[in-house]
Amino acid sequence: MDPITELLRRMDANADCKAILCDDVAYSYGDVLDLKKRADVALGESAVSPGAVVAVHADYSPASMAVLMSLIKNGNIIVPLSNGLEANREKYLAISDPDFVIEAGGTELEVHKRTAIGQKSSLILGLVEKSTPGLVLFTSGTTGNPKAVLHDLKRLMSKFLNANKRYTTLCFLLFDHIGGVDTYFYSLFSGGLAVFPRTRDPEHVCQLIERHRVEVLPVSPTFLNLVLLSEAHKRFDMSSLRIITFGAERMSDYLLKRVKEELGSAQLTQKYGITEIGSPASKTHPEDASLIKVAGDKVDVRVIDGMLHVRTATAMIGYLNAESPFTNDGWYNTGDAVEVHGEYLRILGRKSDLINVGGEKVYPAEVESVISELDAVLEVVVFGERNPLVGEMVCARVRIVGGEDESRFVSDLKKHCGQKLEKHKVPVRVYLTEEKLHSMRYKKIGGKS
């Protein structure tokens, strides 16, 4: 079954049902299909041919959803670029080298012709030859060099053919994030209602949950921490929430405990997804949300030397600007260190984030969890710095409540960690900051002063 044709069929069958809530205005599936027809005309007038690479600069809106449907049906290679990430926009455009850039917002869109600079990647040409739409997403680029991940959109969308639970879902994860892609495609395929936030401020998000009786909230642990710190969940009625899914980074044990206490009426579901492999089917342990089983008829997993490897039918075709990371038989080393608990796994963190103190492994999340127990802590990021004696030492960057005595806080932090952690895990250096320690994607950021 062709997932693209099936998606449009389902949208037509649900024409009278609400599809999108944007700025408190409801749009039906019929409305979105009407906007798609307008987008079809705009693509035709601008001579956007099948196979052309098209960047879509947008956030969630009726127009951005409609133009996605139009581009998919037209067989284009789509490069979604979220609003608010302008600092990386030129870098992303240089890497993906699109033929067109579309600005989409509200119910309007503008198509701009762009002169492509180089030869198209052989991976893109392979999709064009098969008349198959593609999707280009970028890795976070923590090293300064983001990688352009190319997906076969038919293959990626095939996982949603079984989507059958109609939820009211808040689309929190960004428009160009693999988790965001997962969210809006599931909602459209299932006939659900997608609520688009104007901002991702805890106050606004909790207000939307109350106003629209949101049932599913897909977020990052960092955002859940900010919600609890703001106490926005206490000012609004959150009782409609049935499922809170979390991913994108490791949830600390302390935060997991607090979320259960504060938002315990909602089921906590851990999701595992990486830009390169999509979001394969998974199951959260019924008694411990820190444990996850990545499994399904289209995914295999193995653990080698404590590292998680995944092989899945929905994996990317490859990178546009880097060598293929896959083994000859299709396995991908995720870079995530894990513990095996029977059929389930506990994600410990990225191997690249591991701190080696004199041969002893330190996972930042464990130290961050302990530091977060201190009342004055708003955010914390733990990382390693070079040390001539032991190779690396543990350091922490912390944002604290205003008015705290900084010297006393640092002393209290080290004492608290000394009581809870082995000596080599206790931060040697503590950097206090007033800057936010999370990105627009609500993932932790931080590093050496």
**What is the percent of the chain with per-residue pLDDT over 90, rounded to a whole number?**
73
| Residue 166 within a domain | no
| Residue 257 within a domain | no
**What is the DSSP secondary structure assignment for residue 252, as one 8-state letter?**
P
In this prediction, residue 447 carries a pLDDT of: 60
Give per-residue pLDDT as tens, 343-376.
999 998 888 889 999 989 999 989 999 999 999 9
Distances (CA, A) of 91 to 64, 94, 141, 406: 22, 5, 11, 39
Domain end (from 107, 128, 157)? 157
| Residue 264 within a domain | no
Give per-residue pLDDT as tens, 127-141.
999 999 999 999 875
In this prediction, residue 67 carries a pLDDT of: 96
| Residue 429 within a domain | yes
In this prediction, residue 407 carries a pLDDT of: 93
Domain end (from 108, 134, 157)? 157
In this prediction, residue 299 carries a pLDDT of: 87
Residue 85 has pLDDT above 80, yes or no: no
- 6, with CB counted inside 10 A (0-12, 13-18, 19+), is middle
DSSP-derived secondary structure for 390-420:
TEEEEEEEEEE-TT--HHHHHHHHHHHHHHH
Average pLDDT over residues 422-436: 94
Give per-residue pLDDT as tens, 388-402.
888 899 999 999 988
For 380, the domain range is 354-433
Confidence of residue 26 (pLDDT cuts 50, 70, 90): very high
Q: Which has more confidence, 411 or 273?
A: 411
In this prediction, residue 285 carries a pLDDT of: 92
| Residue 169 within a domain | no
Say what the pTM is. Answer: 0.89
Confidence of residue 79 (pLDDT cuts 50, 70, 90): very high
In this prediction, residue 449 carries a pLDDT of: 45
In this prediction, residue 446 carries a pLDDT of: 65
| Residue 235 within a domain | no
Nearest alpha-carbon partner for 244 in 273, 223, 215, 272:
215
Domain end (from 141, 157, 173)? 157
Give per-residue pLDDT as tens, 170-229.
999 988 989 999 999 999 999 999 999 999 999 999 999 999 999 999 999 999 999 998
| Residue 118 within a domain | yes
Domain count, the chain: 2
Least confident of 58-72, 82-96, 103-117: 82-96
In this prediction, residue 144 carries a pLDDT of: 60
- Please say whether the beta carbons of 136 and 149 come within 8 A: yes
Mean pLDDT score of the chain, rounded to an integer? Answer: 91
> What CATH number has the domain bearing residue 372?
3.30.300.30
Residue 33 has pLDDT above 80, yes or no: yes
In this prediction, residue 368 carries a pLDDT of: 93
- The pairing of strands 391-400 and 429-433 is parallel
The continuous run of DSSP H or E covering 275 comes out as: none
| Residue 50 within a domain | yes
